[in-house]
Amino acid sequence: MHQFDLKNRTSIITGGAQGFGLNIAKRFLNSGGKVIIWDIDENELLKASKELDNSNLSFNVVDVSNYNQVKVAVDKIIKNSNIDILINNAGITGSTASLWEYDIEEWNKIVNINLMGTFNCCKCVVPNMIKNNYGRIVNVASVAGKDGNANASAYSSAKAGVIGLTKSLGKELADKNIAVNAITPAGAKTRILKQMSKEHVARMLSKVPRGRFLEIEEFTSLICWLSSEENSFSTAAIFDISGGRSTY
Ligand SMILES: NC(=O)c1ccc[n+]([C@@H]2O[C@H](COP(=O)([O-])OP(=O)(O)OC[C@H]3O[C@@H](n4cnc5c(N)ncnc54)[C@H](O)[C@@H]3O)[C@@H](O)[C@H]2O)c1
């Protein structure tokens, strides 16, 4: 697999204990980077650290929807190191139901993790990137944020919010060597699919002209380029990886 040069680059990957995030951590470590994984699930974090078994890896239990937890974790890191790369990947879809039947607490939780979590991490990390005039931020949105999936109004709204946040922050930082981009994947076989009904997942798949799920490694390849120094121009942009589903 093609390697990007991430030597001496420190990254935070949120929601990195499994699924997409764990695969990103693997590629970043193989590319010579230092990786800090944050996740809310301590058991999965312990499993991931055993699996990755790398002295350049550290991990913490951090709930990205909790601003204070994020701030404390960032302040601890920047005592010893800069933060070069931030991957806002932590997310949940929540269950599938029509908007008028959606549980209000669950709706808020979905928006808090996907959108406020991305805001909290950017807010705490960006000042360090500005100080060093270097940074690469990749926000993991979803094709749902562009198209709006029926019976997933909270998730679609939160991911549309992540797209807006990315375009806005990217422009705010465009005069510095800091790139802020988002990607909009179609469905991939990770644990997150279990949160939705089988019918909903089948409907998602039926909309993809490629006719199959996105492979996790295909997702990570795009993340690697966006996170590398080689991406020195693209910013405030939304990169499609939906197998032909999105028309814009
Ligand atoms: N898999 C897909 O089909 C798909 C498609 C489009 C977008 N995405 C997005 O990709 C990202 C990763 O999802 P995945 O498919 O790897 O799912 P996953 O469930 O395998 O992994 C998500 C991780 O995020 C962690 N997490 C959840 N809430 C958290 C919080 N509050 N703070 C910190 N960590 C938290 C979970 O513990 C888990 O380890 C999500 O943002 C998701 O919305 C996934």
Of 211, 200, 206, 204, nearest in space to 184 by CA: 204
Yes or no: say if 153 and 92 are a contact pair by the CB < 8 Å rule: no
Whether 155 is a known active-site residue: answer: yes
Tell me the CA–centroid distance for residue 30 and ligand 1, in Å.
Answer: 22
Instruction: Please indicate whether residue 140, judged by its CB atom, sits closer than 6 Å to ligand 1.
Output: yes
Instruction: Please indicate whether residue 188, judged by its CB atom, sits closer than 6 Å to ligand 1.
Output: yes
Both tokens of residue 84?
Answer: 């070069």
Residues 196-214 as b or e (16 or more Cβ within 10 Å = b): beeebbebbbebbeeeebb
Map tokens 């179609």 to a residue. Answer: 186
Structural domain contains residue 166? yes
Both tokens of residue 94?
Answer: 């929540």
Yes or no: say if 39 and 21 are a contact pair by the CB < 8 Å rule: yes
So what's the pLDDT on residue 14? 98
Q: Which of 102, 134, 155, 248 is labelled catalytic?
A: 155
CA distances from 149 to 7, 68, 93 (A): 39, 32, 11
Instruction: Please indicate whether residue 29, judged by its CB atom, sits closer than 6 Å to ligand 1.
Output: no
CATH of the domain at 215: 3.40.50.720
Residue 214, helix vs strand vs coil: strand
Tell me the CA–centroid distance for residue 58 and ligand 1, in Å.
Answer: 19
For the chain, residues with pLDDT lower than 50 are: none
Cα separation, 160 vs 145, whole angstroms? 4
Structural domain contains residue 2? no
Q: What is the pTM of this model?
A: 0.98
Structural domain contains residue 1? no
Continuous H helices in the chain: 19-30, 42-52, 67-78, 104-111, 117-132, 143-147, 153-172, 198-206, 216-227
Yes or no: say if 85 and 12 are a contact pair by the CB < 8 Å rule: yes
Q: How far is residue 155 CA from its own chain's centroid?
A: 14
Structural domain contains residue 5? no
Print the domain residue range for 58. 10-241
Structural domain contains residue 232? yes
Structural domain contains residue 3? no
Map tokens 């809310």 to a residue. Answer: 40
**How many Å is the Cα radius of gyration of the chain?**
17
Instruction: Please indicate whether residue 89, judged by its CB atom, sits closer than 6 Å to ligand 1.
Output: yes
Q: Which atom of ligand 1 is nearest to the CA of 114?
A: 41
Structural domain contains residue 247? no
Structural domain contains residue 124? yes
- List strands edge to edge, sheet with 237-241: 57-61, 34-39, 10-14, 85-88, 135-140, 178-185, 237-241
Q: In total, how many domains does the chain have?
A: 1
Both tokens of residue 148?
Answer: 């709006």
